[in-house]
């Protein structure tokens, strides 16, 4: 009875189950709903000792199965689909069918004894869900910005020069007021100043300067669309959409920060102590990596986010490829971008990672991406060491540790 294994191949509406009891095999299908999970529960309860359960992570589809198993306190193995495919191809898979995949998953567990998934605090799951929504909203914001830019080229392209720094909420509110240059031309300066004063953080002096600039830009403009054109309405729509998307994204960020602060750890404070790590980056790293203490070593985090080196073996050929790109792509992207933030912050707050990055860049022996990924490796090791030792970042300590290793 020790080798009772349930391999489950999860699809959108139903799942194939392969039950191994010693050498005996039983295959059946279940629906991914209450009746189907009740059927699975009856099969699982036939055994005095709880069976081993293994399935692939298939996004939202496998989450329902995972929730069911958590509710009934069953341990399980969640396989990365790419890892599962690799192990299946090592002498297991001959025919591609759902039933075969379910049985092959069971055989993988029988042969390789993968560790059970360690359930994390509910706050981590909520944070990750919020971060996925945050990431989607970021994509929507980029898309809306591009559309607004294209429309303004027809109605009031000069308004894009109103702000010298990155355009944000104040700019979009001004675009809502003046989506077409003719609207500015139709108003006197006092009207424009009064409109601008209604926008938060714009005072009297700034409103007067911006009014002068808006009038000057409007007089220079030569629009391709008229004031009553659909493009003018579209400019208002996308400016308003950007304001709403930004508010929605900020709301999710605030919720993530609140959840991180409810954890019985100082992990958020520790991550923020790294130069260049604002709360946004820190909480997103926590949301995607989860409880960092569950990893046995930094290499496990590398594999989790897909920056571990790939390898190709065939006959006499044995070569190392670029990074595997398996695992959590969002975490990989957040950490990759963090390197640029750390490099910028180094002007005011020294960091050994920024120094490593600058040294590699100056050597110009590798491409930019390779240097950035090498820096992410170092960042992962720093994060892991700080969290495991429950320490804030200290530049001098980090430099001493670097000297010892070299």
CA distances to 130, 192, 238, 246, 253 from 140, rounded to whole Å, are 15, 30, 11, 10, 16
When pLDDT is cut at 50, 70 and 90, the band that residue 318 belongs to is very low
**pLDDT attached to residue 75:** 93
DSSP assignment, residue 357?
H
Q: Is 223 left (phi over 0), alpha (psi -120 to 50) or beta?
A: beta
- Digit-coded pLDDT (tens) for 190-218: 999 999 999 988 999 999 999 999 999 99
Q: What is the mean pLDDT of residues 156-178?
A: 92
Q: List the CATH code of the domain at 4-119.
A: 3.30.420.10
CA 175 to chain centre: 30
Per-chain mean pLDDT for the chain: 90
**pLDDT attached to residue 219:** 97
Q: What is the mean pLDDT of residues 358-382?
A: 86
Domain ranges of the chain: 4-119, 125-258, 265-405
Give burial (CB, 10 Å; 0-12/13-18/19+) of 299: middle
Q: Name which residue leads in pLDDT, 390 or 86.
A: 390
In angstroms, the CA 328 to CA 330 distance is 6
**pLDDT attached to residue 167:** 82
**pLDDT attached to residue 406:** 58
In angstroms, the CA 326 to CA 269 distance is 29
Helix orientation angle between 352-363 and 329-345, rounded to the nearest 10 degrees? 90
Q: Is 151 helix (H, G, I), strand (E, B) or coil?
A: helix
- Digit-coded pLDDT (tens) for 59-97: 888 999 999 999 999 999 998 887 788 787 765 544 455
pLDDT at 136 over 90: yes
**pLDDT attached to residue 314:** 32
Statement: the pTM of the whole predicted model exceeds 0.85: no
CATH number (2.40.50.140, 1.10.287.4070, 3.30.365.10, 3.40.50.300) of 125-258 reads: 1.10.287.4070
**pLDDT attached to residue 317:** 33
For 182-212, the DSSP string reads HHHHTS-HHHHHHHHHTSTT--HHHHHHHHH
pLDDT at 322 over 60: no
Six-digit token string for 224: 């391709």
């Amino acid at each position: 009875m020790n080798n009772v294994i349930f391999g489950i191949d999860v699809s959108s509406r139903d799942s194939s189950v392969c039950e191994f009891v010693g050498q005996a095999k039983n295959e059946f299908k279940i629906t991914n709903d209450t009746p189907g999970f009740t059927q699975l529960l009856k099969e699982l309860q036939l055994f005095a000792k709880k069976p081993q359960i293994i399935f692939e992570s298939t996004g939202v589809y496998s989450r329902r199965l995972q929730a069911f198993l958590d509710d009934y306190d069953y341990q399980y193995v969640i396989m990365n689909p790419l890892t599962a495919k690799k192990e299946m191809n090592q002498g297991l898979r001959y025919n591609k069918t759902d039933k075969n995949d379910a049985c092959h998953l069971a055989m993988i567990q029988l042969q390789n004894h993968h560790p059970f998934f360690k359930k994390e605090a509910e706050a981590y799951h909520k944070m990750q869900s919020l971060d996925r929504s945050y990431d989607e909203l970021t994509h929507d914001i980029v898309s809306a910005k591009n559309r607004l830019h294209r429309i303004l080229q027809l109605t009031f392209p000069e308004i894009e020069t109103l702000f010298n720094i990155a355009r944000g909420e104040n700019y979009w509110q001004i675009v809502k007021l003046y989506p077409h240059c003719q609207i500015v031309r139709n108003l006197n300066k006092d009207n424009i100043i009064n409109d601008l004063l209604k926008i938060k953080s714009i005072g009297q002096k700034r409103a007067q300067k911006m009014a002068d600039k808006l009038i000057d830009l409007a007089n220079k403009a030569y629009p391709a669309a008229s004031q009553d054109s659909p493009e003018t309405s579209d400019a208002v729509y996308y400016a308003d959409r950007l304001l709403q998307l930004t508010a929605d994204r900020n709301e999710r960020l605030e919720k993530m920060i609140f959840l991180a602060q409810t954890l019985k750890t100082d992990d958020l404070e520790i991550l923020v102590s790294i130069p260049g790590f604002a709360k946004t980056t820190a909480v997103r790293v926590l949301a995607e990596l989860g409880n960092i203490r569950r990893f046995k070593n930094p290499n496990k985090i590398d594999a989790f986010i897909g920056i571990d080196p790939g390898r190709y073996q065939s006959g006499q050929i044995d070569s190392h490829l670029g990074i595997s790109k398996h695992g959590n792509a969002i975490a990989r992207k957040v950490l990759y971008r963090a390197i640029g933030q750390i490099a910028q912050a180094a002007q005011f707050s020294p960091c050994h990672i920024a120094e490593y990055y600058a040294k590699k860049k100056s050597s110009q022996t590798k491409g930019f991406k390779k240097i950035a990924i090498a820096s992410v490796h170092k960042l992962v090791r720093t994060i892991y060491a700080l969290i495991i030792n429950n320490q804030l970042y200290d530049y001098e300590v980090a430099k001493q540790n670097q000297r010892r290793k070299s």
